[in-house]
Amino acid sequence: MSVENVAKHPIPPGFEDALLLPDGYAKMYAESVSDPEGFWRREGRRLDWIQPYSKVKDTDFTLGKVSIKWFEDGVLNVSVNCVDRHLATRADQTAIIFEPDDPKTPARHITYAELSEKVNRFANVLLSQGVMRGDRVVIYLPMIPEAAYAMLACARIGAIHSIVFAGFSPDALANRINDSGAKLVITADTAPRGGRRTALKSNTDAALLHCSDRVRCLVVKHTGDQTTWIDGRDVDVLALMEQVSPHCPPRPMGAEDPLFILYTSGSTGKPKGVVHTSGGYLVYAAMTHQYVFDYKDGDVFWCTADVGWVTGHSYIVYGPLANGATTIMFEGVPTWPDAGRFWEVCAKHKVTQFYTAPTAIRSLMGQGPEWVEKHDLSSLRVLGSVGEPINPEAWNWYDKHVGQGRCPIVDTWWQTETGGHMITSIPGAIETKAGSATLPFFGVRPAILDASTGVVQQGDPAEGVLCISDSWPGQMRTLWGDHQRFEEAYFQQYPGYYFTGDGCRRDEDGYYWITGRVDDVINVSGHRMGTAEVESALVAHQKVAEAAVVGYPHPLKGQGIYAYVTLMNGVEPTDALRKELETWVRTEIGPIAKPDLIQWAPGLPKTRSGKIMRRILRKIAEDDFGALGDTSTLADPGVVDELIENRMNRA
């Protein structure tokens, strides 16, 4: 097996005083994996505990009894750690900068004192609606400060939040409200984005038709747009916040009490409710935020993700606020009103760390460097990438035009399930290579296993599937209401290991290169999508008999969605129907799930036992049908020729 050896980029000057000196990483990493108890016992102290923990790590990856507990007997409150404890020293410091969609609307600076008041009031609103410890609250909000208030308010009273990305459809929202058994959903009237408005309240109304009529709806009147109103069910949060007390005592919570559920796509079936708990998650989010971004007092940190994704949870809200940082919440999009918006915001707020996804970099790269050059980016110190492998071309453009060659790039590999960064460079400590996530974070023990035999690949280079051999505090604890599915999805395939679902190679220097998902999850513009979800949306259409969905390489999105659709007998395949199916999927799941290409497939390649051979469909979608491999087990090999003949992607 050959793994090309790519030269390292040296650490740029100016990082001599970074948090870790060059040999600090290796030493600290060795310590973290040789004595995890001692290491995390110390690291756990970065939080304020109401009752300190005596136990540190109690974890077991054995199939049938998988159990993950950290700081188990410690008692804390997450909102106190993100807000109250900063008041003595930084009440007047900005906690959140809200940058609205429309650049003509002034930004808002919310201090820690103000954040504290809002969170307390919001918590009292939740209590007034009967929300109790352990209750689930679904948050369906745009990128506005109220989203952070709502999250922290839940944490304050011990309720479990579950954020649903505002781009999801009413159906997707209803499924998540029902699966989590939420008592309450928090939404806004409408959400401006890129100059357009999404009708969140009316989406919520539509979703609630499929939910218990006991579910209440708190509405943030954000734009003031007209919405329907159901008395007794709908509540004006902002008005009520004015009426309740600005003091809400924080509820002491066990370290292992759930903090949030976040639904994410798996390779099969309905979305999985990933559960994160309070103590370990916050220790890990805060620690990774500090080291990986070389975060220092006075920095202005900007993560461009949406709070609806895990990246927004850990690196817009929990990590930065636990560290007393100034964090930006951006309501808009990178390309509106023009392709310079990101850089204009960086210059305006003197951003020091900028964290975004490769798909955004690729699309801005296509607009030319002049959009970047117009703005003063001298405040930037560290650049980050997340969500999908970054191609060296985009990496080099980011480095040259945005970082001007002086900002280390941290390519952070991690997942909803991992809570925080797992494999990543650290500024001033780890030299980078364009396209590599580099080395494991402290306490993380990656292992590369042979995909079919499960044998651990020792030594460098190596290639296979990426597993993690021991627990870390930010690890998910279970799937909401389905611990068995949790074990099956992550611990069954390679016994004794957490299986990430990603392929990986390790080069001669021990650097990790993530090669993408090896399961039926695709990564579209940095968003995770289960092909099974798109398939079940398609077959729910009355004209569709069968559907198979795969990913294919897409120049901007990383992967595009390619759907093979078999129509019901007698249905005419037309362009109009293609459009209709696209719209159908948008409304069933959301715009991010819309197929890029739909190929009419009179038949799908199946084994004699009726199993769809996705490997073949992937190859055809990649326009790489020369290497179809063994097709002898197909029930009807003729369908393959037909599919090749009419393939939609001719690269």
**Number of residues counted as binding ligand WTA (CB under 6 A):** 24
Q: Shortest Cβ distance from residue 24 to ligand WTA (Å)?
A: 23
Give yes or no for residue 411 binding ligand WTA (CB under 6 A): yes
Residue in the shown chain whose Cβ atom is closest to ligand WTA:
416
Using the minimum distance from each CB to ligand WTA, give the nearer residue, 343 or 490. Answer: 490
DSSP per residue, 2-43: ----PPPBPPPTT-TTSSS-TTHHHHHHHHHHH-HHHHHHHH
Q: Residue holding tokens 């997942």? A: 415
Q: Shortest Cβ distance from residue 519 to ligand WTA (Å)?
A: 9
Q: Is 402 annotated as a binding residue?
A: no
Give yes or no for residue 520 binding ligand WTA (CB under 6 A): no
Give yes or no for residue 533 binding ligand WTA (CB under 6 A): no
Using the minimum distance from each CB to ligand WTA, give the nearer residue, 518 or 539. Answer: 518
Q: Shortest Cβ distance from residue 513 to ligand WTA (Å)?
A: 9
Among residues 111, 124, 204, 264, which is the contact residue for ligand WTA, using CB under 6 A? 264
Q: Which helix (H) or strand (E) holds 343?
A: helix 341-349
Give yes or no for residue 142 binding ligand WTA (CB under 6 A): no
CA atoms within 13 A on the CB side of 316: 27
Give yes or no for residue 554 binding ligand WTA (CB under 6 A): no
Using the minimum distance from each CB to ligand WTA, give the nearer residue, 121 or 362. Answer: 362
Peptide bond into 337 cis (omega under 30): yes
Structure tokens at 22: 């060059």
Q: Shortest Cβ distance from residue 525 to ligand WTA (Å)?
A: 11
Phi, psi of 550 (to 5 degrees): -135, 170
Residue 368 CA to residue 541 CA, distance in Å, equals: 41
Q: Which helix (H) or strand (E) holds 498?
A: strand 498-506
Whether residue 293 contacts residue 106, with contact meaning beta carbons closer than 8 Å, is answered with no
Using the minimum distance from each CB to ligand WTA, give the nearer residue, 190 or 500. Answer: 500
Q: Is 413 annotated as a binding residue?
A: yes
List of long-range contacts for 166-169, beta carbons under 8 Å, 24+ apart: 166/140, 166/141, 166/142, 166/191, 166/198, 166/200, 166/306, 166/308, 167/198, 167/306, 167/308, 167/590, 167/591, 167/592, 168/140, 168/308, 168/589, 168/590, 169/203, 169/586, 169/587, 169/588, 169/589, 169/590
Using the minimum distance from each CB to ligand WTA, give the nearer residue, 268 or 415. Answer: 415
Q: Shortest Cβ distance from residue 649 to ligand WTA (Å)?
A: 21
Residue 448 CA to residue 505 CA, distance in Å, equals: 8
Q: Which candidate, 543, 539, 538, places its Cα nearest to that of 593?
A: 538
Position 615, amino acid: R
DSSP per residue, 201-266: HHHHHHHHTTS-TT-EEEEE-SS-------TTTEEEHHHHHHHS-S--PPPPEETTSEEEEEEE--
Stretch that binds ligand WTA, among 198-206, 512-520, 539-547, 607-615 (CB under 6 A): 512-520
Q: Which residues, in sequence order, are CB contacts of 51 under 8 Å at separation 6+?
A: 73, 74, 75, 76, 252
Structure tokens at 37: 């108890």
Q: Shortest Cβ distance from residue 386 to ligand WTA (Å)?
A: 5
Q: Which helix (H) or strand (E) holds 152?
A: helix 145-157
Residue 448 CA to residue 430 CA, distance in Å, equals: 21
Using the minimum distance from each CB to ligand WTA, give the nearer residue, 158 or 440. Answer: 440
CA distances (Å), 494 to each of 249, 451, 469, 475, 476, in order? 45, 9, 10, 17, 18
Among residues 99, 101, 234, 388, which is the contact residue for ligand WTA, using CB under 6 A? 388
CA triplet 20, 25, 27: central angle to 5 degrees?
A: 115
Give yes or no for residue 381 binding ligand WTA (CB under 6 A): no
Residues 436-475 binding ligand WTA (CB under 6 A) are 437
Whether residue 217 contacts residue 235, with contact meaning beta carbons closer than 8 Å, is answered with yes
Among residues 170, 192, 308, 387, which is the contact residue for ligand WTA, using CB under 6 A? 387
Q: Is 359 annotated as a binding residue?
A: no
Using the minimum distance from each CB to ligand WTA, give the nearer residue, 180 or 523. Answer: 523
Residues 295-314 binding ligand WTA (CB under 6 A) are 309-311
Whether residue 384 contacts residue 132, with contact meaning beta carbons closer than 8 Å, is answered with no
Give yes or no for residue 507 binding ligand WTA (CB under 6 A): no
Among residues 77, 94, 190, 412, which is the contact residue for ligand WTA, using CB under 6 A? 412
Please report, in angstroms and rounded to a whole number, the separation of the first and last CA atoms in the chain.
Answer: 27
Among residues 380, 514, 589, 648, which is the contact residue for ligand WTA, using CB under 6 A? 514
Burial (CB count within 10 angstroms: exposed 0-12, middle 13-18, buried 19+), residue 152: buried
Q: Residue holding tokens 């209590």? A: 127
DSSP structural state of residue 438: B
Using the minimum distance from each CB to ligand WTA, give the nearer residue, 315 or 600. Answer: 315
Q: Is 631 annotated as a binding residue?
A: no
Q: Shortest Cβ distance from residue 131 to ligand WTA (Å)?
A: 27
Stretch that binds ligand WTA, among 62-70, 321-329, 380-388, 479-487 (CB under 6 A): 380-388
Among residues 251, 477, 528, 619, which is the contact residue for ligand WTA, using CB under 6 A? 528
Give yes or no for residue 129 binding ligand WTA (CB under 6 A): no
Q: Residue holding tokens 């190596």? A: 462
Stretch that binds ligand WTA, among 130-138, 229-237, 410-418, 532-540 (CB under 6 A): 410-418
Q: Which candidate, 299, 277, 457, places its Cα nearest to that of 380?
A: 299
Q: Which helix (H) or strand (E) holds 528?
A: strand 527-530
Residue 633 CA to residue 603 CA, distance in Å, equals: 16
Q: Shortest Cβ distance from residue 461 to ligand WTA (Å)?
A: 18
Give yes or no for residue 505 binding ligand WTA (CB under 6 A): no
Among residues 53, 291, 413, 512, which is the contact residue for ligand WTA, using CB under 6 A? 413
Q: Is 362 annotated as a binding residue?
A: no
Residues 589-648 binding ligand WTA (CB under 6 A) are none
Among residues 253, 386, 544, 613, which is the contact residue for ligand WTA, using CB under 6 A? 386
Structure tokens at 200: 């969140």
Using the minimum distance from each CB to ligand WTA, give the nearer residue, 192 or 271. Answer: 271
Q: Is 196 annotated as a binding residue?
A: yes
Whether residue 162 contacts residue 259, with contact meaning beta carbons closer than 8 Å, is answered with no
Stretch that binds ligand WTA, among 208-216, 385-393, 576-584, 601-609 (CB under 6 A): 385-393
Q: Shortest Cβ distance from residue 92 to ligand WTA (Å)?
A: 33
Binding-site residues for CoA, in ranges, read 193-196, 311, 525, 586
Q: Which residues are near ligand WTA by CB under 6 A? A: 264, 309-311, 385-389, 411-416, 437, 500-502, 514, 516-517, 523, 528
Binding-site residues, in ranges, read 193-196, 311, 387-389, 411-416, 502, 517, 525, 528, 539, 541, 544, 586
Binding-site residues for ATP, in ranges, read 387-389, 411-416, 502, 517, 528
